Amino acid sequence: MRDDRVPIVFAIDVEPDEPEFLPGSCAPWRGFEGCIELTARLRDSLAPAVGGDVALTWFVRMDPQITTGYGAPTWAADAYARQFSELCAQGDEIGLHVHAWRWLDNDGRWSAELTDPAWLEQCMDVSFDAYRRAFGQPCLAHRSGDRFMSNALLDLVRARGITVDLTPEPGLRGLPTRPGRPHTEPIPDMALVPRQPYFPSPTDWRRPSASGVPDADGLLFIPLASADPGPLLGRSRAAARRVRNVGRPLHRPLLPWADDLGPRIWDVIARDVDRGTLTALAFAVRSHVGVESRTAQTLMHSIDALSRHSLATRLEFVTASVARSRVVARPESLAVASRP
């Protein structure tokens, strides 16, 4: 591969089809099963265009909610052992996608417990211990559930040896908890999170470290791809959006399966790659896309468009860990702390 290609990570969060389920449900993960077939089509479409293999990263759930629902945190790794083995044989990486859902006996439902440090630590302990038992090696790649990150959670991630994390979504505004899915903490505001990969500050996960690259094993954030979608919205909608967001960033996370953007997102991404404001790309989708035909169809329409776009020849589809190595080898691709 040429060393000037832009690394791109396509991540799949491997989890139950429904966010909430009754304890002991043990329902098959049909979305994940369908997602394996879907990504086979994705590889077939993209490989000729990028001139090489298409590696993916699968972030699997192994937290206490899975234990409560399925009897063991390793349920998915056990039930789908053959599938995971085949994915790894294709060059894919398996990471962890950790949620902090806790079952409330009195209410008979789940709540995302994001403010209890002891519970967060337990969720991490259960997940990382299960991963090592299931796959026989430590986990290196992580994505937090519920779009949640905090300095306390960052400390827990660092302590477990994670070297690459795909949680940040630059441009995402802080969101309140949804009545239908109780959270003890709102989704954090990520409007000012860097769009380029960065080594997070030990005191503020939203900012790059002032020391640059701390060491060869330091944790690197690779944010999900974001850009200003204004050119895709039409002149009047783009103008109104600029007025509403005076003094605030115009970029937001871009989803290749979003109906309102469609395959034209590759035009705005290519623009920002050319400008040097996007130096690595990452996209993430829940595995339930495998059972949502409309979402899957929109995604594949967008992927097919990328395979015909000139941008494809400049991309290298790699795992999260490989993307980290590519970024670290090119320090100019990193976001750095602004000088006072």
Asked whether residue 339 is domain-assigned, the answer is no
Q: What is the pLDDT of residue 243?
A: 60
232 found inside a domain: no
Whether residue 99 is contained in a domain is answered as yes
Residue 233 lies in a domain: no
The answer to whether residue 197 sits within a structural domain is: yes
Kindly report the CATH number assigned to the domain that includes residue 181. Answer: 3.20.20.370
Burial 211-233 (b: 16+ CB within 10 A, else e): eeeeeeebbbbbbbbbbbbbebe
34 belongs to a structural domain: yes
d(CA 148, CA 207): 16
| 9: phi then psi, degrees, rounded to nearest 5 | -110, 125
Residues with Cβ within 8 Å of 60's Cβ and at least 6 positions away in sequence, in order, are 14, 15, 76, 77, 84, 94, 95, 96, 97, 131
For residue 37, the enclosing domain spans 6-226+254-333
Domain count, the chain: 1
Tokens of 219: 């944790």
User: What is the rounded CA–CA span in Å between residue 299 and residue 291?
Assistant: 13
Burial class for 53, CB neighbours closer than 10 Å (0-12, 13-18, 19+): middle
- Pick from 306, 210, 291, 231: which is nearest to 18 by CA? 291
Q: How many CA atoms lie within 13 A of 230 on its CB side?
A: 16
Encode the chain (340 residues) as per-residue pLDDT tens digits: 456 899 999 999 999 999 889 999 899 999 999 999 999 999 999 999 999 999 999 999 999 999 999 999 999 999 999 999 999 999 999 999 999 999 998 888 899 999 999 999 999 999 999 999 999 999 999 999 999 999 999 999 999 999 999 999 999 887 666 656 677 888 899 999 999 999 999 899 999 998 666 556 689 999 999 998 877 777 766 666 666 766 677 788 888 887 767 778 899 999 999 999 999 999 999 999 999 999 999 999 999 999 999 999 999 999 999 999 999 999 999 998 764 3
The answer to whether residue 47 is domain-embedded is: yes
